[in-house]
Amino acid sequence: MAVLTKELKKDLLKTIIKIRRFEEKTIQLYQIAKIWGYLHPYIGEEAIAAGACAAISKSDYIISTHRGHGHSIAKGADLNRMMAELLGKATGYCKGRGGSMHIADTELGMLGANGIVGGGIPISVGAGFSCKMEGKGRVAVCFFSDGATNNGVFHEALNMAAIFSLPVIYLCENNMYAISMCSDDAIACRDVAKRSAAYDIPGVIVDGTDPEAVYNIVSKAVQRARSGKGPSLIEAKTYRFGGHHPNDPAEYRDKSEAEYYKKEKDPVVNYKAKLLEEKVISPEEIDGYEKEIIQMVEQSVKFAEESPEPSLEQFLEEVRSI
């Protein structure tokens, strides 16, 4: 079982900060229309991607969602290519064709963000079959949020993964809302984890704002998956700090509720404090991380802005050949 070394803790913090600063920048760029279409920030939920991706290795797979930047970053994506994709540039992960909702990279084992809620969940079953057939102990972590669990595909996929003992970790990021609908109103049993009973697989709840808790629980599920015992369902309780997208004022939820989470449950603030208290890290080191990351993010914007647009001629050529 993996242990939380000092180094690992620092890495978790770095990842969380990286996701936060990247997302803050994307919102700024969205507001000045350099990024367009749909943008779904992951702010408030960073600890889940960080903890989960730290618990798997580079060769493992992840399946992501429309709110997927954090997953990519935690899996080791290059910020330059991510930002370039968000700006629709030829150097982006999808050559500018996909934008925020479709970032994917074979080398990273990142099997795709998705514009269809729940769209990735059945795909995880295929990744699971592939891991199992290959027989090298590879696993897949399938991210989705509360809303996705109300679509039929969720049930089909978890049932199938269970009967075939597939090495997939189902990781629900329950941020309490699916656009405007509160998960307590949408999910009959309220806790997504309880649904595991229907598939006879482990179902656990974890504090999704605590990266170490996520890391520990995912590690356990990964171990189970690698040893051929099949899938697990983990429900990480979290909160979407902003609206569904940058232009959503989130009028459907209580202001005080959002204030509470921002004040008490901010993974960046809390994890910094925890590591300082444990003397794992010094304030100077944290400042160093912040500076380094802000520079990386700025660099990614520069890279994206200086990158070429995809070629229109080439696009038309390709279309003609289909």
Ligand X SMILES: Cc1ncc(C[n+]2csc(CCOP(=O)(O)OP(=O)(O)O)c2C)c(N)n1
* Chain residues that interact with another protein, rule: CB under 8 A: 36-38, 88-89, 94, 96-99, 101-102, 114-119, 147-148, 150-153, 178-181, 185-187, 251-252, 309-310, 312, 315-316, 318-319, 322
Q: Please tell me whether residue 19 binds ligand X under the rule CB under 6 A.
A: no
Which helix (DSSP H) or strand (DSSP E) does residue 302 occupy? helix 283-306
Q: Please tell me whether residue 310 binds ligand X under the rule CB under 6 A.
A: no
Q: How far apart, in whole angstroms, are the C-alpha atoms of residue 14 and residue 291?
A: 11
The residue among 94 and 275 lying less far from ligand X, judged by its C-beta, is: 94
Q: How far apart, in whole angstroms, are the C-alpha atoms of residue 160 and residue 176?
A: 26
Q: How far apart, in whole angstroms, are the C-alpha atoms of residue 227 and residue 237?
A: 27
CB of 247 to another protein, least distance (A): 12
For 105, the 3-state DSSP assignment is strand
CB neighbour class for 85 (10 Å; exposed up to 12, middle 13-18, buried from 19):
buried
Per-residue binding string, ligand X, 144-183, x by CB under 6 A, is -xxxx--------------------------x-xxx----
Q: How far apart, in whole angstroms, are the C-alpha atoms of residue 175 and residue 177?
A: 6
The residue among 262 and 274 lying less far from ligand X, judged by its C-beta, is: 262
The residue among 103 and 225 lying less far from another protein, judged by its C-beta, is: 103
CB neighbour class for 17 (10 Å; exposed up to 12, middle 13-18, buried from 19):
buried
Q: Please tell me whether residue 67 binds ligand X under the rule CB under 6 A.
A: yes
Alpha carbon 177 to its chain centroid, in Å, reads 16
The option from ligand X, another protein, none interacting with 177 (CB < 5 to 8 A, set by class) reads ligand X
User: Closest-CB residue for ligand X?
Assistant: 147
Q: How far apart, in whole angstroms, are the C-alpha atoms of residue 70 and residue 50?
A: 8
How many C-beta atoms surround the C-beta of residue 216 within 10 A? 17
Q: Please tell me whether residue 184 binds ligand X under the rule CB under 6 A.
A: no
CB of 99 to another protein, least distance (A): 3
The residue among 209 and 307 lying less far from another protein, judged by its C-beta, is: 307
Query: Could you tell me how many residues of this chain bind ligand X (CB under 6 A)?
Result: 17
Q: How far apart, in whole angstroms, are the C-alpha atoms of residue 81 and residue 91?
A: 6
For 135, the 3-state DSSP assignment is coil
Length of the chain: 322
The option from another protein, ligand X, none interacting with 284 (CB < 5 to 8 A, set by class) reads none
The residue among 92 and 128 lying less far from another protein, judged by its C-beta, is: 92
Q: Which two tokens stand for residue 295?
A: 């520079």
The option from ligand X, another protein, none interacting with 273 (CB < 5 to 8 A, set by class) reads none
The option from ligand X, another protein, none interacting with 316 (CB < 5 to 8 A, set by class) reads another protein
Q: Which residues bind ligand X (CB under 6 A)?
A: 40, 66-67, 115-118, 145-148, 175, 177-179, 240, 244
